Amino acid sequence: MNIQGQTGEMVQPTEGPGVDYAPSGGGPGNSLLGMPDALPHELANHELFQRLLAENQDLRDALQQSNTMLRKRHTEMLALQDAQRNEHQFIASRFSEARDLVQNLTKERNSLQAQLELAKKQLHQVIAKEEHAPGRTEVERRQLAEVSDTRHPANKNEEIETGDRDARTEVDSLQGAGERNIRLEQEFQRKLQEAEDQEALLQQQIVNLQGEMSELRLQMAEKTTESQRQLQLLAEEKVSVKAQVTSLLGELKESQLSLETSTQEKRKLEESIRSTRDQQKEWEAQVKQHVIQLDQRRLQVQNLEAALKIERQNACEEMRKLAQLQAAYHQLFQEYDAHIKKSLQLEKCLQVGRKASTWQRCVYYVPRVKYRGSTGHYSVYRAERRNILTVSAPEKYRVQD
């Protein structure tokens, strides 16, 4: 499984139409989710709006935690992949070295086998010639037989091929002295022993390399199994996290829808607030106008009160004058009554005088009332003596002369 391909499919939260991240003084825009500064005080303190903001913040925190956990898992998987890659590279390099060594040993063995076959042919030819040659001793034949007997071990092919190259030279010199043949045989045996030791060492190295390769294969299989198990666990965790993110996105969409509804309600409230403010301004203007009218009415009332006060003063003055006039009329009526009485007495006197044929002049008083328009007073005149009683008359009773 490709870890990078899996981690590339991590669910990223999408911004809905109702979210303005900025961010937060924050986000996505701070105008609607995280910044209620521009909102009215009533809407900012609304319980539904506060609950939506809290749910939105919780969803943000959950998404951030999920992304952090996925990034951590991704980093761990990348580190594990790098470690496995390094181990694979190390194992591959060791395997390549072992393979190259085996190939080189195989090539050397094949070349030694070819040289051995060639040496065998040459040795058979030399033996055949020596058997027909008359000057050969029995010792030389035995040495050649021993040399020919050393070709049979199959596990010594590589060293024998090396020894065969020397054996050809020695076979060519078999025609020399016997001591030289013994020395060459000893040298050949020594080289053959060295070749056997080298072959045994190489076989041991091959066995060790095969053991190391088997151990590395076991370790690789165990690590592969462990990595597959971890990948399976990560895949399960990825599915669960994806389900959680999907549910969180669903809740976020619901919150966004609720937030949009709250936004629409906010707009309606703002419009109602705006209309209420306009009405308030109109009412304030009307109140100011009413206050002005009330001030005018107060001024009018004050003026009317002043006029009423003056009118009351005038009425009091007229009442005083009327009282004076009533007193004057009362006195006049008393005088008139006295005059009537005197007239009756006078008539009685006249009747008596006629009877007595005497006439006497009687002095009587005739009261007159005359209104003086220039002074506004009533004047009571006595006919003869012109005694005047002046009385002030009310304004409405004044008559021009």
Reported as a single tens digit per residue, the pLDDT across 112-156 is: 778 777 777 777 777 676 666 544 445 555 555 554 444 444 445
Q: What is the pLDDT of residue 161?
A: 59
Q: Are residues 245 and 369 in the same domain?
A: no
Range of the domain at 86: 13-269
What pTM value is reported for the model? 0.29
Torsion of CA 322, 323, 324, 325, to 10 degrees: 50
Assigned token pair, 117: 């076959």
Give the full edge-to-edge strand order of the sheet including 377-382. Answer: 367-372, 377-382, 389-392
Q: What is the pLDDT of residues 181-230, one digit of tens each?
A: 566 667 766 766 776 777 777 778 777 777 777 787 788 788 788 878 88
Number of domains observed in the structure of the chain = 2
Q: Are residues 265 and 333 in the same domain?
A: no
Assigned token pair, 344: 């009756």
Q: Are residues 226 and 373 in the same domain?
A: no
Q: Are residues 33 and 141 in the same domain?
A: yes
Q: What is the pLDDT of residue 164?
A: 59
Listed residues 243, 269, 295: the one ending a domain: 269
Listed residues 227, 247, 269: the one ending a domain: 269
Q: What is the pLDDT of residue 185?
A: 64
285 in a structural domain: no
385 in a structural domain: yes
> Which residues of the chain register pLDDT less than 70?
1-46, 127, 129-185, 188-189, 191-192, 195, 355-401
287 in a structural domain: no
132 in a structural domain: yes
Contacts of 4 (CB under 8 A, 6+ apart): 78
Q: What is the pLDDT of residue 392?
A: 42
Q: What is the pLDDT of residue 166?
A: 60
Q: Are residues 340 and 265 in the same domain?
A: no
- Give the residue among 248, 320, 206, 203 at the shortest CA–CA distance from 64: 248
> How many degrees, rounded to 5, is the angle at CA 251 between CA 246 and CA 255?
145
Transcribe 131-146 into DSSP letters.
Answer: HH-TT--HHHHHHHHH
Q: What is the pLDDT of residue 278?
A: 92
Q: Are residues 242 and 353 in the same domain?
A: no
Q: Are residues 62 and 138 in the same domain?
A: yes
249 in a structural domain: yes
Listed residues 269, 295, 314: the one ending a domain: 269
Strand, helix or coil for residue 392: strand
Q: What is the pLDDT of residue 103?
A: 80
Q: Are residues 168 and 36 in the same domain?
A: yes
Q: Are residues 371 and 264 in the same domain?
A: no
Burial state string for 383-398 with b = 16 or more CB within 10 A and e = fewer than 16 = eeeeeebebbbbeeee
Enumerate the β-bridge partners of residue 380: 369, 389
298 in a structural domain: no
Q: Are residues 143 and 263 in the same domain?
A: yes
Q: Are residues 339 and 238 in the same domain?
A: no
Q: Are residues 132 and 233 in the same domain?
A: yes
204 in a structural domain: yes
323 in a structural domain: no
Spatial separation of the C-alpha atoms in residues 79 and 71, rounded to whole Å: 12
